[in-house]
């Protein structure tokens, strides 16, 4: 009897160090020995992909990088997979950031997909990195009224004569705005979507998705959910990367957390039942 | 006057900003655009103030208070290194990118990843079926978690659709209600500010 009581108590009071160790094993092991569990495509990713597929070749796409270093493991793989898709569809990319670190990730994404950034022969023709625009939502509003407000790009070059920007005179020229972020989408809907009719798609962290879904599909055409969204997109564009590799680890970690929750509840319920009995 | 002037400025700016969203006017729209540009300038100034404050706080810690001196010194050295490299070479230079990708990204990602460990521990401790409502929440949480990982579909083929339904229907309904509530709250706050009834933002509010 005492042994049983002990077990229920143990189940409901597992030490933090044990949980951390188990989680580390669950995350580390599948990365070293991948299982390759099958991955389905979710609605948000499928809509995102189809919208990009439906754009006429040569269309302008604004890519807003709101990626901070902390959320980059989830969001950056999305940006790489989507940039690869945009490149394969011959779409023109205007990258910018309303957060300080965003343009650094745009630069990384161009290097990963195009092999180079400002040194590339297509820089300024097929893609450009406008850099950071300070001011948050106020900056969005100013950019929406004049998308050619940025005089120097991220690398300090004059944007005036850049071929890609000759095609931009109003936000309506962007056939799609893709926002990679770990934050809410309302400012983009307010400043670009509603007043100018710019279609918006987003790649965000998993925690933001419940809020994004309130705007889907009327105001947000598609969305990528964290690392899983990135993995699905990698599958769709046939460019396996770090996100697909991380899916097994995510499965193992989720299973562990569910197992812990079940163990905790079993211990709690058995303990409560025994207290009632006594 | 100390109160009336800021109130009058707030009211005028608010009316202009709101009107600009709904009205197309050749006089009003450029005026509001220029006002918005002023916000960008103020934001840039705020960054400058933040930099001065950061330096002052850490220099004080090293020289006057003598607490956490090592941490403050590291902060100042890292800050100086990024500013110097960024100012001389530009933030688009490969050397700056190297510093960013090899210092900031791994450190910040690690900090964020650590929260995953605490979340696992918190989920284990907090997700207890203490009531019927808590049980429903627990069940929904488990289904959505399974739906997010490929293993969910392997365990039971209906998991992704069930998870999607929870996100599409109860979640979206709740979030939309929340957003509407916030919007109505903001609207009433704006009306209070325009009519001069809201004075809380005026420091002392006297």
ipTM of the complex: 0.83
Tokens at residue B152, please?
A: 């969910």
Q: Among residues 24-83 of chain A, which lie with CB inside 8 Å of chain B? A: 24, 37-40, 42-43, 68-73
| Cα→Cα distances B6→A138, B42, B202, Å | 21, 17, 8
- pLDDT score, position A4: 54
Q: Are A258 and A3 in contact (CB under 8 A)?
A: no
Chain B nearest CA to A139, separation (Å): 6
Torsion angles phi and psi, residue B127, rounded to 5: -80, 75
Nearest CA in chain B to A182: B112
Categorize the per-residue pLDDT at B204 as very low, low, confident or very high, splitting at 50, 70 and 90. low
User: With an 8 Å Cβ cutoff, are A195 and B47 in contact?
Assistant: no
Nearest CA in chain A to B180: A214
* Residue in this structure with the two tokens 């300080």, named with its chain if needed: A100
Question: What pTM was estimated for this model as a whole?
Answer: 0.89
Q: Report d(CA B51, CA B188) in Å as an integer.
A: 36
Q: Report d(CA A255, CA B79) in Å as an integer.
A: 41
> Looking at the predicted structure, is the pLDDT value of residue B205 above 80?
no
Q: Are A233 and A39 in contact (CB under 8 A)?
A: no
List, for residues B134-162, the tens digit of each pLDDT value. Answer: 999 999 999 999 988 899 988 999 999 99
**Mean per-residue pLDDT for B44-67?**
90
Chain A nearest CA to B80, separation (Å): 17
Q: Report d(CA A266, CA B118) in Å as an integer.
A: 21
278 residues of chain A, pLDDT tens digit each: 455 557 777 888 899 999 999 999 999 999 898 888 888 899 999 999 999 999 999 999 999 999 999 999 999 999 999 999 999 999 999 999 999 899 999 999 999 999 999 999 999 999 999 999 988 898 999 999 889 999 999 999 999 989 999 999 999 999 999 999 998 899 999 999 999 999 999 999 998 999 999 999 999 999 999 999 999 999 999 999 889 989 999 999 999 999 999 999 998 888 888 888 87
Quick one: what percent of chain B has pLDDT higher than 70?
A: 98
Q: Report d(CA A49, CA A241) in Å as an integer.
A: 17
List chain A residues with CB under 8 Å of B126: none
DSSP annotation of A33:
S
DSSP annotation of A173:
G
CATH classification code of A43-241 = 3.40.50.10160
Q: Report d(CA A162, CA A95) in Å as an integer.
A: 14
Burial class (CB in 10 A: 0-12, 13-18, 19+), B187: exposed
* Better pLDDT: A213 or B3: A213
List chain B residues with CB under 8 Å of A195: 21
Q: Report d(CA B4, CA B55) in Å as an integer.
A: 37
* Rounded to 5°, angle at Cα A66 from A61 and A70: 140
Q: Report d(CA A99, CA A179) in Å as an integer.
A: 12
List chain A residues with CB under 8 Å of B86: none
């Amino acid at each position: 009897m005492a042994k049983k009581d002990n077990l229920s108590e143990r189940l409901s009071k597992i030490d933090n160090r044990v949980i951390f160790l188990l989680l580390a094993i669950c995350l580390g092991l599948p990365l070293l020995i991948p299982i390759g569990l099958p991955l389905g495509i979710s609605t948000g990713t499928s809509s995102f992909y189809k919208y990009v597929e439906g754009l006429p070749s040569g269309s302008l796409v604004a890519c807003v990088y709101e990626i901070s270093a902390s959320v980059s493991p989830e969001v950056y793989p999305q940006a790489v997979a989507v940039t690869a898709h945009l490149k394969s569809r011959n779409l023109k990319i205007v990258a910018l950031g309303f957060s300080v670190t965003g343009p650094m990730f745009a630069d990384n994404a161009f290097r990963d997909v195009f092999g180079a950034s400002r040194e590339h022969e297509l820089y300024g023709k097929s893609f450009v990195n406008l850099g950071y625009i300070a001011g948050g939502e106020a900056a969005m509003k100013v950019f929406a009224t004049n998308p050619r407000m940025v005089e120097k790009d991220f690398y300090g070059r004059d944007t005036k004569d850049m071929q890609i920007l000759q095609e931009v005179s109003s936000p309506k020229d962007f056939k799609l705005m893709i926002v990679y972020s770990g934050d809410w989408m309302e400012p983009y809907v307010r400043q670009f979507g509603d007043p100018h009719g710019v279609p918006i798609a987003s790649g965000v962290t998993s925690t933001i998705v419940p809020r994004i879904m309130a705007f889907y599909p009327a105001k947000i055409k598609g969305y990528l959910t964290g690392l899983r969204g990135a993995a699905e997109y990698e599958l769709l564009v046939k460019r396996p990367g770090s996100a697909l590799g991380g899916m097994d680890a995510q499965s193992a970690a989720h299973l562990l957390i569910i197992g812990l929750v079940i163990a905790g509840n079993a211990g709690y319920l058995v303990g409560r039942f025994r207290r009632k009995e006594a | 006057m100390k109160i009336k002037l800021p109130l009058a400025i707030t009211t005028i700016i608010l009316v202009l900003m709101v009107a600009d969203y709904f009205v197309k006017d050749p006089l009003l729209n450029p005026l509001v655009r220029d006002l918005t540009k002023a916000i960008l300038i103020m934001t840039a100034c705020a960054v400058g103030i933040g930099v001065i404050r950061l330096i002052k706080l850490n220099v004080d810690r090293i020289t006057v208070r003598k607490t956490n001196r090592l941490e403050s010194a590291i902060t100042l050295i890292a800050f100086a290194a990024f500013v110097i490299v960024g100012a001389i070479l530009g933030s688009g230079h490969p050397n700056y990118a190297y510093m960013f990708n090899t210092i900031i990204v791994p450190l910040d990602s690690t900090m964020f990843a650590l929260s995953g460990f605490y979340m696992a521990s918190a989920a284990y401790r907090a997700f207890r079926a203490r009531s019927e409502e808590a049980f429903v929440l627990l069940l929904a949480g488990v289904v959505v978690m399974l739906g997010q990982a490929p293993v969910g579909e392997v365990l039971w083929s209906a998991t992704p659709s069930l998870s999607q339904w929870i996100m599409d229907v109860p979640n979206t309904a709740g979030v939309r209600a929340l957003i509407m509530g916030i919007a109505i709250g903001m609207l009433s706050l704006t009306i209070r500010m325009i009519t001069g009834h809201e004075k809380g933002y005026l420091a002392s509010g006297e």
